Amino acid sequence: MKKAIAILAALLMAASLASCANTPADAAQPALSGTVKTGGSTSVESVMTALIYQFQENNRSVTVNYEMNGSGDGIKNTISGLYEIGHSSRELKTDGSESGLDAVAYAIDGIAIIVNKANTTQTLTKDQVKGIYTGAITSWSEVGGQDALITVVTREEGSGTRSAFAEIIGLEKSGDDSTAIVSYAAVSDSTGAVQTTVSQNPDAIGYISFSEVDANQVNTVQYEGVTVSSDSLKDGTYKLKREFYLVTKQGATLTPAAQAFKDYVLGTDGQKIVGEKKLLPIK
Amino acid sequence: MTSSAAADAAKEGFSIRQRRRSGQALEGAMHCVFLVCGLSAVASVAFICIHVAVSGWPIIAKYGLDFLLGQSWNPGNSQFGVLPMITASVAATAAAMVVALPSGVLAAVFLAKIAPDRVSAVLRTFVDLLSGIPSVVYGLLGAILIVPKIFKIQSAAGLPAGGSLLAAAIMLAIMILPTIISVSETALRAVPKQYEDASLALGATKLQCVFKTTIPAAKSGITAGMALGIGRAAGEAMAVMMVAGNAAIMPSLLKPARLLTASIPIEWAYSSGVHREALYGIGLVLFVFIMALNITVRRIMKKGAGQGE
């Protein structure tokens, strides 16, 4: 027994020595090290996780943190200096509360309007979508679908997808009922939850990031006669879209590792990963 | 013999004394350990109380009755009325109680008084298992099995199909059943046998005996089970969030509803500033609600114990 433990310990030591010897060799050429603190939007999760994974593979001594807490916190914590790079899935506010920052877009994301697989509705105009979300249109039969009441599914207050969707469709936050999202809309707290809800309810409509659409679960509806796809995003015909941003402090010098990460995301390799995630690369 | 016995006795006395001394040191050390453990529970409760109160108070101070009695929850527009959530929580809990209390008590009667020992042992295992299922699993089953069943009722009533207060109430009823059953069963078993014997001797049938003697005698225990069930129902977030539809409107059985508990996890991630303060405020309301329930339970239990003496 003791012998077994001794052998195990020896093996472990050998392994740890080996890994010690390996790391510097791998990271030798870029000579980057340290931790890059980033955080923000949850909509960018799938693309950002892939980018970080590949970046860390290339630079073994660098760790990129990504706290998923929403665009608002991403921006705020970049202002306070907690994050070197903030993730935002909406533009910076122009009311002065988010000044002193640079936002660089690295991807364009389509917002897909999704319905249940059993739903026969093919296409919706901007006005129809607005009507549905403000409660002016309540039945699918009014927009060429089945004779059933529409179950409106929305994201929770504060979500980047919700604010981008509301802005494009023309849904105001103000108390004016004719332009606000109906109060009886079902609220789901994540992209996945919206998709699940819509997939289980034949009369539901929802909106999620195109990069997260699972065609086995839900159908996408044409917006203004255009089907959401990588192509329609690229040629600019699909209008329901928003950009993903990296947010940094204006004039601040990033640490070498953070700068390298930013360059990577905007560079050829990073943009290729963006494209693989059903997003439109900015370059 | 006498001399060696005396020597043994002396030796033993010595060793006992020695042991006692080291025993006292250990006793003292353990006393400290227990004290620290005991205090850590008190400290946790005190810390949570203070934290929730301090972080939840500002929004209530700022908005006052508009917060507690406002009917419109629209953080983007600085409207923070939590009345829809308070009423939804109360309504869902009450509706769950209406279903769970009678069936729970009757199940407890069956387990304690009617079923043969072996059957009740098996059933009790299942009840215990029911209470051990994680709430997210309840939520999943509710979303897949219960919510779609209500679609038809909703469309018959001219309402859009989706999550509803009714679904949440059914979920909660199932979730609090084990609490009600096991507490009620304990209470029913604790009823002195003489009461039942007397009742039966006076010519009562078994059912009359149970309903006229045993249940009334176990009333305080059953009430405590009910209050514990209410506490669990009011505090449940995960399962409810997955079936209720979460629209912050005044509750109606077939419409979506947002409960106090669900509001916090739904909006937490993206909230900031006053919005986050408002979520803390909801936490405070919920905390006071549950604390009040707990105090009520303790009162009832004490009263019950007093009656027993």
Per-residue pLDDT averaged across A184-193, rounded? 89
pLDDT band at A28 (very low <50, low <70, confident <90, very high): very low
- Chain A segment 178-237 residues within 8 A of B by beta carbon are 180, 183-189, 196-197, 200-204
pLDDT band at B292 (very low <50, low <70, confident <90, very high): confident
More confident call, A97 vs A112? A112
In the block, residue with structure tokens 């604010």: A163
The pLDDT value given to residue A141: 92
Same domain, B72 and B58: no
Inform me whether the C-beta atom of residue A34 falls under 8 Å from chain B C-beta atoms.
no
The pLDDT value given to residue A139: 93
User: Token digits for B32?
Assistant: 């400290």
Q: How many domains does chain B have?
A: 2
- What is the spatial distance between Cα A148 and Cα B154, in angstroms, rounded to a whole number? 11
Test B256 with A175 for CB contact under 8 angstroms. Answer: no
Identity of the residue in B163, B256, B267 whose CB atom sits nearest the CB atom of A158: B267
Same domain, B158 and B17: no
Burial (0-12, 13-18, 19+ Cβ within 10 Å), B34? exposed
- Choose one of B16, B46, B63: the last residue of a domain: B63
- Does position B305 have pLDDT exceeding 90, yes or no? no
Is the separation of the CB atoms in A197 and A153 below 8 Å? yes
| Residue range A110-241 in CATH 3.40.50.2300 | no
- Does position A19 have pLDDT exceeding 50, yes or no? no
**Please, which residues have CB within 8 angstroms of residue B228's CB and are 6 or more apart in sequence?**
B179, B180, B183, B297
Same domain, B33 and B155: no
- Does position A26 have pLDDT exceeding 60, yes or no? no
pLDDT digits (tens, 9 = 90+) for B121-132: 999 999 999 988
How far does the CA of residue B226 sit from the closest CA of chain A (Å)? Answer: 31
pLDDT digits (tens, 9 = 90+) for A29-74: 557 888 999 998 877 888 999 999 999 999 999 999 998 877 888 8
Same domain, B187 and B211: yes
Lowest-pLDDT choice from A70-84, A137-151, B265-279: B265-279
| Nearest by Cα to A221 from A150, A157, A167, A159 | A150
Per-residue pLDDT averaged across A250-255, rounded? 89
Helices (H), chain A: 2-26, 45-58, 71-80, 126-134, 160-169, 191-200, 230-234, 256-266, 268-276
Same domain, B41 and B58: yes
Inform me whether the C-beta atom of residue A153 falls under 8 Å from chain B C-beta atoms.
yes
Structure letter (DSSP) for residue A76: H
Name the packing angle between helices B219-235 and B260-268 (round to 10°). 20
Test B270 with A68 for CB contact under 8 angstroms. Answer: no
- Does position A13 have pLDDT exceeding 70, yes or no? no
Chain A residue with minimum CA distance to B165: A186
Long-range contacts formed by B61-64: CB under 8 A, 24+ apart: B62/B274
Per-residue pLDDT averaged across A109-122, rounded? 93
The pLDDT value given to residue B259: 94
3-state SS assignment for residue A138: coil
The pLDDT value given to residue A20: 45
Lowest-pLDDT choice from A94-103, B10-19, B288-297: B10-19
B103-127 CB burial, b ≥16 within 10 A, e <16: ebbebbbbbbbebeeeebeebbeeb
- What is the spatial distance between Cα A279 and Cα A230, in angstroms, rounded to a whole number? 7
Identity of the residue in B72, B249, B275 whose CB atom sits nearest the CB atom of A158: B275
Same domain, B224 and B162: yes
- What is the spatial distance between Cα A84 and Cα A37, in angstroms, rounded to a whole number? 6
pLDDT digits (tens, 9 = 90+) for B201-235: 999 999 899 999 999 999 888 988 988 899 899 99
The pTM assigned to this predicted structure is: 0.76
How far does the CA of residue A1 sit from the closest CA of chain B (Å)? Answer: 34
Same domain, B19 and B155: no
- Does position B60 have pLDDT exceeding 70, yes or no? yes
Same domain, B84 and B2: no
The CATH code of the domain that includes B298 is 1.10.3720.10
Lowest-pLDDT choice from A102-116, B1-15, B18-32, B199-213: B1-15
Same domain, B104 and B32: no
Q: Which residues in chain B touch residue A204, judged by CB atoms under 8 angstroms apart?
A: 161-162
What whole-number percentage of chain B has pLDDT above 90? 62
- What is the spatial distance between Cα A189 and Cα A161, in angstroms, rounded to a whole number? 11
The per-residue pLDDT of chain A, averaged, comes to: 85
Determine the structural domain holding residue B26 and report its residue range: 1-63
Same fold, A34-107+242-281 and A110-241: yes
| Nearest by Cα to A82 from A97, A94, A99, A65 | A65
Same domain, B38 and B117: no
- Choose one of B36, B63, B90: the last residue of a domain: B63
| Fold designation for A34-107+242-281 | D-Maltodextrin-Binding Protein; domain 2 (3.40.190)
Same domain, B280 and B182: yes
Same domain, B9 and B117: no
In the block, residue with structure tokens 């199940």: B107
Residue from B270, B271, B272, B276 to probe the interface with A (highest A Cβ count within 10 Å): B270
Test A158 with B160 for CB contact under 8 angstroms. Answer: no
- Does position A2 have pLDDT exceeding 60, yes or no? no
pLDDT digits (tens, 9 = 90+) for B158-169: 899 999 999 999
| Nearest by Cα to A245 from A92, A106, A111 | A106
Identity of the residue in B249, B267, B272 whose CB atom sits nearest the CB atom of A156: B267
Question: How many beta-carbon contacts under 8 Å exist across A and B?
Answer: 109
- Does position B19 have pLDDT exceeding 70, yes or no? no
Residue from A43, A200, A205 to probe the interface with B (highest B Cβ count within 10 Å): A200
pLDDT digits (tens, 9 = 90+) for B182-200: 999 999 999 999 999 999 9
Interface confidence (ipTM) of the complex: 0.75
Q: Which residues in chain B touch residue A183, judged by CB atoms under 8 angstroms apart?
A: 72, 247-249
**A65: alpha, beta or left? (left if phi > 0; alpha if psi -120 to 50):** beta
Test A149 with B155 for CB contact under 8 angstroms. Answer: yes
- Choose one of B17, B48, B63: the last residue of a domain: B63
3-state SS assignment for residue A139: strand
Centroid of chain to Cα A276 = 14
What whole-number percentage of chain A has pLDDT above 70? 87
Parse chain A into domains and list their residue ranges. 34-107+242-281, 110-241
